[in-house]
Chains A and B, each alone.
Chain A
Amino acid sequence: MPVIAFRQALKDAMDEEMARDQNVILMGEEVAQYNGAYKVSQGLLDKYGPERIIDTPITEEGFTGVGIGAALVGLRPIVEWMTVNFSAQAFDQVLNNAAKMLYMSGGQLKVPIVFRGPNGPAEYLASQHSQSFQAFYSHIPGIKVVAPSTPHDAKGMLKSAIRDDNPVIFLEGEMMYAWKGEVPDEEYLIPLGKAEVKRTGEEVTLISFSRSMQMVLEAAEVLEKEGYSAEVLDLRSLRPLDEEAVFASVVKTNRCVIIDNDWPMASFGSYLGWLISKNCFDSLDAPVELVAMEDVPMPYNHTLELAVQPSMEKIVTAAKRVMYV
Chain B
Amino acid sequence: MAEQVLMLALSPTMEEGTIVTWHKKEGDSVAQSDIICEVETDKATMEYEAVNEGTLLKILVAEGGKAKVGEPIAVVGEPGEDISGMLKEAEQKAEPAAQAPGASEPAASPESAALQVEAAPAAGPTGAAVTTPSAPQVPAGQLKASPLARKMATEHSIDMRVLRGSGPAGRIVKRDIEKALRQVASYGPAAAVGVQGPIAPAFIPSAAGPTASGKDERIPVSGIRKIIAQRLAESKFSAPHYYLRIDVDAGEMMAARQRLNARLPKDPAGKVSPNAFLIKFVSETLKKYPVVNSSWQTDEILRFGKIDIALAVAQEDGLITPVVRGCGSKGIVQIDRELKNLIDKVRSNKLTPEEYSGATFTISSLGTSGILEFTAIINPPGSAILAVGRIHKAPVVGDDGTIGVRSQMMLTLSCDHRVIDGAVGAAFLSDLKAFIEYPIDLLY
Contact = CB atoms under 8 A, between A and B. Distances in A.
Interface size class of A (residues with CB under 8 A): 20 to 34
B23 interface: no
A281 B122 CA distance: 30
Given A277-B114, A287-B115, A294 B146 contact: no
A113 B91 CA distance: 68
A218 B147 CA distance: 30
A315 to B, nearest CB: 9
A308 B118 CA distance: 10
Interface stretch (B168-176, B284-292, B370-378): B168-176
A264 B117 contact: yes
Contacts of B117: 264, 290-292, 295
Contacts of A314: 118-119
B123 A296 contact: yes
A148 to B, nearest CB: 25
A292 B147 contact: no
B166 interface: yes
Most buried by A among B124, B130, B146: B146
Contact of A294 (B114, B119, B147): B119
B118 A254 contact: no
A56 B130 CA distance: 43
Given A285-B173, A296-B122, A254 B114 contact: no
A73 interface: no
Interface string B115-152: 11111011110000010000000000000001111110
A321 B171 CA distance: 13
A138 interface: no
B124 to A, nearest CB: 7
Contact of B111 (A277, A285, A286): A277
A134 interface: no
Nearest to A254: B148
Contact of B118 (A286, A287, A310): A310
B113 interface: yes
Nearest to A283: B148
Nearest to B149: A285
Contact of B124 (A264, A282, A286, A295): A295
B247 to A, nearest CB: 56
Contacts of B175: 324
Interface in A283-325: 283-292, 294-296, 308, 310, 314, 317-318, 321, 324
Interface in B203-242: none
Contact of A324 (B113, B118, B124, B168): B168
B115 A286 contact: no
Contact of B121 (A287, A294, A310): A294
A254 B119 contact: no
A204 to B, nearest CB: 12
Contacts of A290: 115-118
Contacts of B118: 289-292, 310, 314, 317-318
A285 B114 contact: no
Interface residues of B, number: 25
B197 interface: no
A237 interface: no
A150 B26 CA distance: 57
A270 interface: yes
Nearest to A274: B115
B70 interface: no
A310 B118 CA distance: 8
A310 B151 CA distance: 33
Contacts of B439: none
B147 A283 contact: yes
B27 interface: no
Contacts of A65: none
Interface string B93-127: 00000000000000000010111111101111000
A69 interface: no
A324 B179 CA distance: 15
Contacts of B147: 281-285
Nearest to B148: A285
B167 interface: yes
A50 interface: no
A286 B173 CA distance: 8
A43 interface: no
A290 B118 CA distance: 7
Contact of A288 (B114, B122, B150, B166): B114
A306 to B, nearest CB: 13
A273 interface: yes
B115 A285 contact: no
Contacts of A274: 115
Given A295-B122, A295-B124, A273 B148 contact: no
B93 to A, nearest CB: 27
A132 to B, nearest CB: 15
Which 9 residue pairs of A and B lie closest in terms of their CB atoms, listed nearest first? A287-B114, A285-B174, A285-B148, A282-B151, A264-B117, A285-B146, A273-B115, A314-B118, A296-B122
Given A283-B147, A285-B173, A294-B119, 17 more contacts: A270-B115, A277-B111, A277-B114, A283-B148, A286-B146, A287-B114, A287-B115, A290-B115, A290-B116, A290-B117, A291-B118, A292-B117, A295-B130, A296-B122, A296-B123, A314-B119, A324-B166
